[in-house]
Amino acid sequence: MVNLEGKTAVVTGAARGLGKGIALKLADLNAHVVVSDLQKDEAENTVEIIRQNGGEANSYLCNVANAEQAVGLIEYTISTHNQIDILVNNAGINRDGMLHKMDDEQWQQVLDVNLTGVFNTMKPASQHMRERERGRIINISSASWLGNIGQANYSAAKAGVVGLTKTASRELAKKNITVNAICPGFIDTDMTRSMPEKAWETMVEKVPMGKPGDPEDVANCIAFLSSNQAGYITGEVINVGGGMVL
Ligand code: NAD
């Protein structure tokens, strides 16, 4: 049984969807969770649920694409909780479109949030973890990193997250810090529910298990990677997708 008592976890994009599921799970396992997001009210709502369940959490507003705000998130957590044990980079957006029609803004916004946003928190958090010689970093990539029609921007950013994860895992291994990436397949969240119904059904048909995943399916994997039991696992890219990518 995983017990994260005494650990502090930062989860970005934790107001809803996967991030919310991850925050609830880590709090359930006794971690103190900093629920970070752009959306103030929804982030407060996640905190409220955690507290009602007897857990400990607080919220922090942060746009991960903004380097100063990302540093602010890490500094705030260290100053209020003395430490960051677990960093989960979950915040992400999609702005889908075919490559030949994709405008510069569509490209840049997705790269700024989904890739630069991960660098923006990892850099200050890894400085802190290096000093403590311990830590867990878990980055949310996507099955789309292998290439997906209409997602040149998103796939490129998520492939970048894999490269960033693997490089950081090598740089930080001697400091007892693990860095891993998770590639969710097709998970039932607002992001996927914004698809047209027909496209949703087509995606579900592509999942060998015949159903979309739940945020908790991803959260369970993160709970394990955050635990002491996973201390020798680093640089891995783990699919959580009901067999969608093998
Ligand atoms: P979602 O849209 O439901 O939630 C994303 C959260 O991130 C929201 O709370 C949003 O406010 C926050 N966010 C967006 N931009 C931000 C920014 N700049 N700074 C801070 N917070 C920001 O999406 P989701 O489905 O829960 O996806 C979460 C992560 O999982 C994303 O990185 C996404 O790419 C990845 N993912 C999702 C799926 C899926 O099937 N849902 C599959 C693979 C990967």
Mean residue pLDDT of the chain comes to: 97
- Placement of tokens 């991850």 in the chain: 22
Candidates 143, 170, 138; CA nearest to 159 is 143
Whether residue 214 is predicted with pLDDT greater than 90 in this model: the reply is: yes
Dihedral of CA atoms 188, 192, 198, 199 in degrees, nearest 10, equals -120
Q: Distance between alpha carbon 10 and the CA centroid of its chain, in Å?
A: 10
User: In a mutational test of the pocket of ligand 1, which residue from 189, 194, 239 has the highest number of ligand atoms less than 8 Å from its CB?
Assistant: 189
Per residue in 66-80, pLDDT tens?
999 999 999 999 999
Q: Which pLDDT belongs to residue 90?
A: 98
Region 195-208 average pLDDT? 94
Domains with residue ranges and CATH for the chain = 8-240 (3.40.50.720)
Q: Which pLDDT belongs to residue 246?
A: 87
Which positions are annotated as active-site residues?
154
ipTM score of complex: 0.99
Closest ligand 1 atom to Cα of 113: 18
What is the rounded distance in angstroms from the CA atom of residue 190 to the CA atom of residue 246? Answer: 25
Helix (H) or strand (E) holding 211: none
User: In a mutational test of the pocket of ligand 1, which residue from 191, 217, 240, 244 has the highest number of ligand atoms less than 8 Å from its CB?
Assistant: 191
Candidates 238, 96, 196; CA nearest to 154 is 96
Q: Distance between alpha carbon 40 and the CA centroid of its chain, in Å?
A: 18
Candidates 151, 159, 148, 146; CA nearest to 97 is 151
From residue 196, how far is each of 22, 27, 193 by CA, in Å? 26, 34, 8
Whether residue 19 is predicted with pLDDT greater than 90 in this model: the reply is: yes
Candidates 28, 23, 66, 73; CA nearest to 43 is 23
What is the rounded distance in angstroms from the CA atom of residue 118 to the CA atom of residue 90? Answer: 8
Can you give the pTM of this predicted structure?
Answer: 0.98
Whether residue 50 is predicted with pLDDT greater than 90 in this model: the reply is: yes
219 Cα to the center of ligand 1, angstroms? 14
Per residue in 32-42, pLDDT tens?
999 999 999 99
Whether residue 1 is predicted with pLDDT greater than 90 in this model: the reply is: no
Contacts of 213 (CB under 8 A, 6+ apart): 184, 185, 186, 187, 188, 207, 240, 241, 242
